[in-house]
């Protein structure tokens, strides 16, 4: 390899993305994690994909529950993004949060731009991650809320010229 993993990470970090929290459940357990590796796949049928680190607890919840929700974070939700990204106290991420349940049972966070509630239709091994493709069974959109953006370890929003 002609480049280091640090160089690879640095270039990936220069890509501006939206910020999402992927949530899942299985039995009595819920979990969630901040994810920037999310994108739409198809309009017909409505499909999205997320990439989950194999070592994450959320990956195990998606795998066992066969469902997930993608919550698109809003401007001002940097603290929520950081809370769900940190490994510290990760089993308390939902403490004090008001959530609704999607049609799949996955937690839907309130105050976001919106959410996609998905049933897993495919899972693909991809190095240290699993790519989950989900069919969107329900969605919510608040078009009046601005999305949170992320680039080079910084948060931002769109600005008017």
Q: Do 30 and 24 touch, CB atoms closer than 8 A?
A: yes
**DSSP SS3 for 2:** coil
Q: Is the dihedral of CA 114, 118, 124, 129 positive or negative?
A: positive
pTM over 0.85: yes
Residue 150, burial from CB neighbour count under 10 angstroms (0-12, 13-18, 19+)? buried
Q: Give me the residue label for tokens 């994810």.
A: 35
- Whole-angstrom Cα Rg for the chain: 15
Comparing CA positions, the residue from 40, 78, 51, 59 lying closest to residue 155 is 78
Tell me what pLDDT residue 118 has. 97
Domains of the chain in start order, with CATH, are 18-146 (2.30.110.10)
Comparing CA positions, the residue from 103, 106, 100, 37 lying closest to residue 68 is 106
**Pairing between strand 107-109 and 99-101?**
antiparallel
pLDDT tens track of the chain, all 161 residues? 688 888 877 776 666 778 999 999 998 889 999 998 899 999 999 999 999 998 888 889 999 999 999 999 999 999 999 999 987 777 889 999 989 999 999 999 999 999 999 999 999 999 999 999 999 999 999 999 999 988 777 877 777 66
**Cα 154 from chain centre:** 17
């Amino acid at each position: 390899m002609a480049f280091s993993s640090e160089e690879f990470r640095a270039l990936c970090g220069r890509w501006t993305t939206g910020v999402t929290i992927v949530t899942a459940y299985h039995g009595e357990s819920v979990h969630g994690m901040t994810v920037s590796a999310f994108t739409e796949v198809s309009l017909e049928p409505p499909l999205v994909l997320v990439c989950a680190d194999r070592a994450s607890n959320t990956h195990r919840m998606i795998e066992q529950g066969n469902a997930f929700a993608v919550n698109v974070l809003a401007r001002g939700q940097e603290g929520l993004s950081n809370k769900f990204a940190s490994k510290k106290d990760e089993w308390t991420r939902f403490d004090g949060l008001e959530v609704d349940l999607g049609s799949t049972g996955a937690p839907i966070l309130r105050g976001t731009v919106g959410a996609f509630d998905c049933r897993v239709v495919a899972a693909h091994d991809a190095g240290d991650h699993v790519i989950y493709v989900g069919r969107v069974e329900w969605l919510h959109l608040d078009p009046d809320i601005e999305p949170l953006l992320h680039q080079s370890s910084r948060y931002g929003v769109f600005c008017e010229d």
